Amino acid sequence: MTTTDRKIVLITGANKGIGFATARELAGAGHTVLLGARDPQRGAKAEAELGRGTRFVHLDVTDPATIAAAAELIDAEYGRLDILVNNAGISRDRPYSPTDLPVDNLREVYETNVFGVVAVTNAMLPLLRRSPAGYIGNVSSGLGTVAFLTDRDSPLWQFANLLAYNSSKAALNAVTLIYANTLRDSGIRVNALSPGYCATDLNNHTGHLTAQKGGAHIARQATIPDHNTTGVFLNENGGTYPW
């Protein structure tokens, strides 16, 4: 990999699961990967395990102070950011039905899955503007698409009642499109990324794909060479998903 090809990448929620697997893939490909994690101990452990090409950055997407500090660190140490992967995400739906879900649970999910993405993106935009080809990848889910939420024949229909998670990903999809349209003329691309249905802590490891496989999908989608593709929901198997 040439110096020009080597990217500076920030991944939120990178100490475990899909974020960790994405970091492994990108660092293995020769990129510099900054491991955003809210727990310093877990973040440092992830860096020690992944080794060369990675660096833990304290970053809680719900904490403005850590977001600002992370941006300052990246500015001072690297001077730019090429790829931002907004991966951090939570679910607080189970065991509740939509009509029983505490509103505080809904707020907590939106703080991470939606507001956190906006806060981190806005903080990192000055750094992304310094990249010759800035890229923002928002890790989303097909469960948040209107196409899924209106398809009663879907094999995943049992998950259609996840009020907080699904609606937060629907909001994230809208956020993705709005940023893609806003930043289109700046050369910064913004896409929603799908890792597929992966077995992670978020779903009690019920997915049919491994986190490693999901991370490989995200890493590929985050580094696609097509500099014209923006404002789409990339499918883990290639192509795009309907919104």
Rounded distance between C-alpha atoms, residue 18 and residue 97, angstroms: 26
| β-strand partners of 138 | 86, 192
Rg (CA), the chain: 17
Rounded distance between C-alpha atoms, residue 38 and residue 162, angstroms: 25
Q: Which of 63, 52, 60, 61 has its CA nearest to residue 23?
A: 52
Active site residues: 165, 169
> Residue 241, SS3?
strand
Two structure tokens written together for 142: 């097909």
